[in-house]
Amino acid sequence: MSIIYQESTKTFYLDGKNVTYAFFINYAGYAEHLYFGKKIPHDDLLYTRMRGPDSCIATAPGRDDQFIEPIFSYIDFPPEVSFFGTGDYREPTILAQMEDGSRLSDLLYDGYSILSTKPKIEGMPSLSGGETLIVHLVDSINSLKADLYYTVYDDCDIVTRRIVYINDSDKIINLKRAYSFAIGLPGHNYEALSLYGSWGHERMIDRTPLHHGVFSIDSKRATSSAVLNPFLGILEKGADEDKGEVYGFNLVYSSSWILKAQVTLDGQTIICGGINDFDFSWKLDPKEEFSTPEIVISYSNEGLGGMSRAFHDAYREHLIPEKHVKSPRPLLINNWEATYFDFNNEKLMSFVDAIENTGIDTLVLDDGWFGARRDDTAGLGDWIVSEDVLEGGLSTIINYANSKGIKFGLWFEPEMVNEDSNLFREHPDYAIGVPGHGRCYSRHQFVLDLTRSDVRDYIVNSVNNILHNNNIQYVKWDFNRNVTEFFSAELPAERQSEFAHRYALGLYDLCDRIIGGNPNVFFEGCAGGGARFDPAILSYFPQIWTSDNTDANERATIQYGTSLVYPLSAMSCHVSVCPNHQTFRVASMETRSNIAHLGATGYELDPTQFSNEDKEEIKNHIDVYHKMRKLIFEGDLYRLNTPNDNEFSFLVVAKDKSHAELLCYRRHCGPGKEVYRVRVKGLSENKNYYIPELNATISGKTLSCVGIPVAFPYGDYMTAKYHFVEK
């Protein structure tokens, strides 16, 4: 049993692999946080409770007995959930408006259940497995209930949480804020780490000290977005890659979200969040319930590296579709950067000829194969093969590829429509928009209203029509613009602020039906590069296009930031042409291959331009990749140095520490550059390792203390690889 309830102290202890999470039900009946951190025995933790001298004090509603428990006020304890209107002025987890307009809640303990099988969230993805505790809270005056869900895992250092809000009354309750969790951490000596970015520049690392008040990051875009990833790291001051306590919070959600860290007047830090309550409300009819998305909370006392490994383990074991997480992926070539919209059967067939015997096993046809899509101004939504471009339909190129042993993949952007399309001409109302107002254009396209079931049916049928009638084994699902004009013609006025969440529910319904309904097709996620890289998407798409920026130098940084939370196997990484199309930078084929090798690798360039040398190098890259793929996909990642340094490295160590691969990267070469000696952490200190590149056998202990000097080839943007094999 990983979950224990101790009656004498009313304390719940949840034990993960190396972590313990504890909270108790206090005198007033509120769920009060006690501890989340390194695994500890089930001692009585109530001695840790102290009220700050300046705490404001309010009584529990309807009672004037606060001083019965004199050292503690009802409203300044570290919360598991907090609410507004009854003396607690910190960030509420919930704000519920009753039919009479009042907005107070008072959620008190009402029992618990423990489940050995984790229930799914209806209509939303979540992690699987583990043991689940449900703590039932009730506000008996309003008949509003809240079930707090906690799941712990014996194979990783995370806890997942979510809340289900239940209207047990016979009146309407309007949820104006319905977060997934709150947790009170001791002290306020923390820094917040977030992953910000933009197109071509996704998941850069930002770090800032917390201050009194609220630090908040969010998306208001109905997508998780490249601007900020739905992830918040809370770091003990001074924590680095290898040491210090780090808490990670990652929402399993793809629409507008928020995560906050509040330092309170008595010096605690409260983290909370979930669905963004900006432009949100949810009408909860009598006896209805509302499920919030799941938050994954990790704990590490081995700095950011430990946090990443906790997330990677959790996502590989409990989130990414099991049949794909460890198995080989399509090793594809995508025509986008090679041709953009300018292709035909002959050109694609020449690509097939050029990749024969290289090890590339799938040809992916990107944007432009359907409707009037000769450029990005027309055709989206019309998922009918354009015979102007592909004479004879898709079968000509598919049959040709298949005859040479090459599989075929296809690009879709299911959620979108161009104004210049048959779909829009026939059903302008399918596109999101407010009647009487114009729509914002972005890449000449509009977003379809996924809150509507008829729109979703149209998408499922038209995508399936292509998939069911052609031998397609891979799909790239793109999403190239943000949502604007949040409104659905089908929703009544009082439900319009449900739009962003309903969009996510619509997207998950599409994924369930299209991805679930085509089990033999491999689906890759994409959003104008990596603008929807979140755990919910990962639960459907085992790999996500990391960025449209395929320049190896920039990609190394993007992949570094992404790896803070997401495993290498989740990142789709392609070798592209030089000069690079995004940066015009030139890097060697070896560098481009080595950086793309740190993920689900592939190619994105014109193979008819391959020189014989390129071909040899590509064959070699694919050969090495096949040998190392299991390690890259399943091993433990250690980041050595950071992208702020001229040289930094990624080390992937097998779980049993029997072997490892170190990839070192140097941005600039030149006189005066120091020798880069890297301490190889993460190996077993008790084992000896043979390093073929040095023809030497060295102990793991020496390698971690002394390191190895890295011999980069001369020139900028160079890589060097080292292997370690237990001797």
Helix (H) or strand (E) run with residue 524 in it:
strand 522-525
CB of 548 to ligand DGJ, least distance (A): 5
The residue (of 81 and 483) whose beta carbon lies closer to ligand DGJ is 483
Site for ligand DGJ in 548-587 (CB under 6 A): 548
What's the closest the beta carbon of residue 375 comes to ligand DGJ, in angstroms? 10
Which residues in 43-172 belong to E strands, given as ranges?
94-97, 108-115, 131-139, 144-152, 158-167
* Residue (of 310, 419, 333) closest to 371 by Cα position: 419
Question: Is 214 exposed, middle or buried, given 0-12, 13-18 or 19+ CB atoms closer than 10 A?
Answer: middle
Closest CA to 331 of 360, 298, 301: 360
Residue 36 phi, psi (nearest 5): -145, 120
State the nearest-atom distance from the C-beta of 562 to ligand DGJ, in Å.
Answer: 15
Task: Provide the CB-side half-sphere exposure for 369 (13 A, CA).
Answer: 25
3-state secondary structure of 275: strand
Sequence-distant (≥ 6) Cβ neighbours of residue 62 within 8 angstroms: none
Shortest gap between Cβ of 530 and ligand DGJ (angstroms)? 8
Closest approach of Cβ 625 to ligand DGJ, in Å?
21
- Helix and strand totals (H; E) in the chain: 13, 38
23 touches ligand DGJ (CB under 6 A)? no
Marked catalytic residue, from 277, 366, 548, 551: 548
Distance CA 284, CA 282 (A): 6
- Which of positions 530-549 make contact with ligand DGJ (CB under 6 A)? 545, 548
- Residue nearer to ligand DGJ on the CB measure, 30 or 336: 336
Catalytic site includes residue 285: no
Q: Of the candidates 431, 526, 653, 708, which one interacts with ligand DGJ according to CB under 6 A?
A: 526
Three-state SS annotation for 322-367: HHHHCCCCCCEEECHHHHCCCCCHHHHHHHHHHHCCCCCCEEEECC
CB of 650 to ligand DGJ, least distance (A): 23
Residue whose Cβ sits closest to ligand DGJ? 367
Q: Considering the complex, state which of residue 182 and residue 467 has its C-beta at the smaller distance from ligand DGJ.
A: 467
Q: What part of residues 315-334 is at the interface with ligand DGJ (CB under 6 A)?
A: none
SS3 assignment, position 445? strand
Can residue 529 be called a binding residue for ligand DGJ (CB under 6 A)?
yes
Of 456-495, binders to ligand DGJ (CB under 6 A) are 478, 480
Rounded to an integer, what distance in angstroms lies between the CA atom of residue 223 and that of residue 610? 38
The contact mask relative to ligand DGJ for 410-439 (x = CB under 6 A, - = no) is: -x----------------------------
Determine whether 478 is an active site residue: yes
- The region of 455-463, 525-533, 558-566, 655-663 touching ligand DGJ under the rule CB under 6 A is 525-533
Nearer to ligand DGJ among residue 245 and residue 548 (C-beta): 548
The DSSP 8-state label assigned to residue 78 in this structure reads P
**Between residues 222 and 226, which has the closer beta carbon with respect to ligand DGJ?**
226
Nearer Cβ to ligand DGJ (545/560)? 545
Side-chain-side CA neighbours of 91 within 13 Å: the count stands at 30
Cα distance between residue 305 and residue 640, in whole Å: 9
Of the pair 547, 563, the CB lying nearest ligand DGJ is at: 547
Rounded to the nearest whole angstrom, what is the least distance from the CB of residue 411 to ligand DGJ in the complex? 6
Least separation, in Å, of the C-beta of 454 and ligand DGJ? 26
How many Cβ atoms from other residues are within 10 Å of residue 376's Cβ? 16
Stretch that binds ligand DGJ, among 296-304, 526-534, 669-677, 694-702 (CB under 6 A): 526-534
- In the complex, minimum distance from the CB of residue 586 to ligand DGJ, in angstroms, rounded to a whole number: 21
DSSP annotation of 392 reads T
Residue with Cβ nearer ligand DGJ (430 or 545): 545
Query: CB 281 → ligand DGJ: shortest distance, Å?
Result: 33
Strand-pairing partners, residue 246, are: 235, 300
Return the residue matching tokens 């590069």.
529
Q: Which span (378-386, 454-462, 496-504, 521-529) binds ligand DGJ, by CB under 6 A?
A: 521-529
How many amino acids of this chain bind ligand DGJ (CB under 6 A)?
Answer: 11
Nearer to ligand DGJ, 205 or 410 (CB): 410
Contact 557, 563 (CB under 8 A): no
Minimum distance from residue 601 beta carbon to ligand DGJ (Å): 15
Q: Which of residues 337-396 bind ligand DGJ (CB under 6 A)?
A: 366-367
Cis peptide bond N-terminal to 330, omega within 30:
no
DSSP 608: G
- Binding segment for ligand DGJ (CB under 6 A), chosen from 165-173, 523-531, 677-685, 707-715, is 523-531
Nearer to ligand DGJ by C-beta: 243 or 581? 581
Tokens in use for 645? 């340094």
Distance CA 447, CA 442 (A): 10
How far is residue 475's CA from residue 364's CA, in Å, rounded to a whole number?
8
Comparison of 97 and 480: residue with beta carbon closer to ligand DGJ: 480
Q: Write down the catalytic residue from 88, 478, 534, 636.
A: 478
Secondary structure (H, E, C), 471-520:
CCCEEEECCCCCCCCCCCCCCCHHHHHHHHHHHHHHHHHHHHHHCCCCCC
H helix intervals, 159-238:
none
528 contributes a contact to ligand DGJ by CB under 6 A: yes
For 405, phi then psi, to 5°, come to 80, 15
Site map (CB under 6 A) of ligand DGJ, residues 27-66, x = contact:
----------------------------------------
Residues contributing to the site for ligand DGJ (CB under 6 A): 336, 366-367, 411, 478, 480, 526, 528-529, 545, 548
Residues assigned a catalytic role: 478, 548
